[in-house]
Chains A and B, each alone.
Chain A
Amino acid sequence: AQKITQTQPGMFVQEKEAVTLDCTYDTSDQSYGLFWYKQPSSGEMIFLIYQGSYDEQNATEGRYSLNFQKARKSANLVISASQLGDSAMYFCLLSNFGNEKLTFGTGTRLTIIP
């Protein structure tokens, strides 16, 4: 069985500060991928960043980076220089290549304070 955990149901961060959203996972497979999606209040799901289990470097996409620590089974999302528009729900997704299962975390609601 695979599991993904986002332990922070909500976070408040001052604008322009960096923020780290936690994601830990549990899988017995060696081949897997981790995605982060953003869901603004409007409801749509927006892809942010992807990390494969065999990728040696941490993924980065603009202000987003993924702090991937394979031994600890964590894939935390780091947002640098947060903006008001970053206020949203953030979901971590584990894609298990072995059993072909997708598992979403329960999400973290991030609120950026001016």
Chain B
Amino acid sequence: NAGVTQTPKFQVLKTGQSMTLQCAQDMNHNSMYWYRQDPGMGLRLIYYSASEGTTDKGEVPNGYNVSRLNKREFSLRLESAAPSQTSVYFCASSEVGYLQETQYFGPGTRLLVL
């Protein structure tokens, strides 16, 4: 039981390049989330998926797209990376809705955009 896994662990991009961050969970959770963590700002929700087939914007969705591929997988895509997207990205999942449920986090992806 690996919990929540994220790939890659670290990535360097040039401005304008695109990439997809992958996330998978093996806990049969319905809800999944993407956060970014910047120094001094805590975590901010980018997108979430309350259940398979649905996605919704969080606090900072601009510049990102997501895909809930199936119940297990939730990917985050940067179509044209910008230096402001340099951050640590966390994927999380929870059993049902996110409001009252404990979220389980992946190890994070460190992204540097030059």
Contacts and interface: CB of A to CB of B under 8 A. Distances in A.
B100 A33 contact: yes
B104 interface: yes
Contacts of B103: 35, 45, 47
Contact of B41 (A37, A42, A106): A106
A43 B42 contact: no
A100 B90 contact: no
A33 B108 contact: no
B102 A45 contact: no
Chain A contact-residue range equals 20 to 34
Interface string A69-108: 0000000000000000000000100011100111111110
Contacts of B107: 42-44
Nearest to A42: B107
Contacts, number: 48
Given A43-B88, A44-B108, A45-B92, A91 B42 contact: yes
Contact of A104 (B44, B98, B104): B44
A91 B90 CA distance: 14
B14 to A, nearest CB: 24
Nearest to B44: A104
By secondary structure, the A interface counts as: strand
B82 interface: no
Nearest to A105: B42
A45 B100 contact: no
Given A104-B44, A106-B40, A106-B42, A43 B99 contact: no
Given A42-B107, A43-B88, A106-B41, 19 more contacts: A33-B99, A35-B102, A43-B107, A44-B108, A45-B43, A45-B103, A46-B105, A52-B100, A91-B42, A91-B43, A95-B99, A97-B100, A100-B99, A101-B59, A102-B45, A103-B59, A104-B43, A106-B42, A107-B42
